[in-house]
Homo-oligomer: A and B are copies of this chain.
């Protein structure tokens, strides 16, 4: 049974995040107070056939650099979990 790579992609601190700002404003209109900042990112879950966690991480890292994240404006983090895990 393979592994699952969970990739979090975020706008870098200081990079304008219009989606996050729109969510923050909408929350304000709905009456939610006490929300200082909102950032929106992407979450990508990959089901891999690779069973070695170190190799799965290296594979996911290459995918991030080549496709999933724009490293000029985005940071990413990779989490390797068992298939079927949360």
Q: State A45–B19 Cα separation when bound (angstroms).
A: 12
- Report the minimal beta-carbon distance from A4 to chain B, rounded to whole angstroms: 9
Contacts of A50 in B (CB 8 A): 34
Contact, CB under 8 Å: B48 / A38: no
Neighbour of A40 across the interface among B23, B42, B67, B77, CB < 8 A:
B42
Contact, CB under 8 Å: A27 / B67: yes
Contact, CB under 8 Å: B49 / A32: no
Contact, CB under 8 Å: B42 / A46: no
Given contacts A63-B32, A68-B23, A77-B86, contact A44 B39 (CB under 8 A): yes
CB-nearest residue of chain B to A41: B43
